[in-house]
Chains A and B, each alone.
Chain A
Amino acid sequence: MGVVIEQELGTVHGDEMILNIGPQHPSTHGVLRLKVHTDGEIITQITPYIGYLHRCFEKHCENLTYEQSIPYTDRCDYIGSMNNNFGYAVAVEQLMETKVPEKVEYMRVIVAEMNRIASHLLALGTFGLDVGAFTPFLYCFRDRERILDLFEMLCGARLLYNYIWIGGVSHDFPVGWVEKTYEFLDYFEPKINEYNDLLTYNKIFIERSADVGVIPADVAISYGVTGPNLRGSGVRWDLRKDDPYGIYDRFEFDIPIGTGAMGSVGDCWDRYYVRVRELEECVKIIRQALDALPRDGDVHAALPKKIRPKAGHVYSRTESPRGDLGYYIASDGSDIPSRIKMRSPAFTALSCLNEISRGWMISDVIAILGSLDIVLGEIDR
Chain B
Amino acid sequence: MDFAGIIGIINAKFGEGFASIDEEVSADTVRLTPEQWGQLAPFLRKTPELFFDAMMCITGIDEGVESENLAVSYNLHSMKHNHKLEIYVSMPKSDPKVPSVEQIWRVADWFEREVYDMFGIEFEGHRDLRRILLPSDWDGFPLRKDYEFPETWHGIVINKMKEGWE
Contact = CB atoms under 8 A, between A and B. Distances in A.
Question: Does a CB–CB distance below 8 Å link A and B in the complex?
Answer: yes
The main secondary structure of chain A at its interface with chain B is mixed
A313 B57 contact: no
Interface in A35-86: 50-51, 54, 56, 58-59, 62-63
A324 B84 CA distance: 14
A182 interface: no
A5 B27 CA distance: 47
Contact of A326 (B25, B75, B106): B75
Interface centre among A51, A235, A324 (most CB of B within 10 A): A51
Interface string A219-243: 1011110000000000101000011
A302 interface: no
Given A223-B106, A224-B56, A224-B107, A330 B61 contact: yes
Contacts of A103: none
A288 interface: no
Interface in B49-96: 53-57, 59-62, 64, 73, 75, 79, 82, 86
Nearest to A64: B166
A4 B105 contact: no
A312 B118 CA distance: 22
Nearest to B109: A351
Given A328-B75, A339-B61, A341-B57, A313 B26 contact: yes
B26 to A, nearest CB: 6
Contacts of A352: 106
A317 B26 contact: no
Contact of A51 (B53, B135, B143, B154): B135
A29 interface: no
A235 B135 CA distance: 36
15 contacts: A1-B154, A58-B143, A63-B166, A222-B53, A242-B82, A315-B59, A324-B56, A328-B73, A328-B75, A332-B64, A338-B64, A339-B61, A339-B143, A341-B60, A352-B106
Interface of B: 24-26, 29, 53-57, 59-62, 64, 73, 75, 79, 82, 86, 105-107, 109-110, 118, 131-137, 142-143, 154, 166
Given A4-B135, A221-B53, A224-B106, 4 more contacts: A8-B136, A54-B133, A332-B64, A341-B60
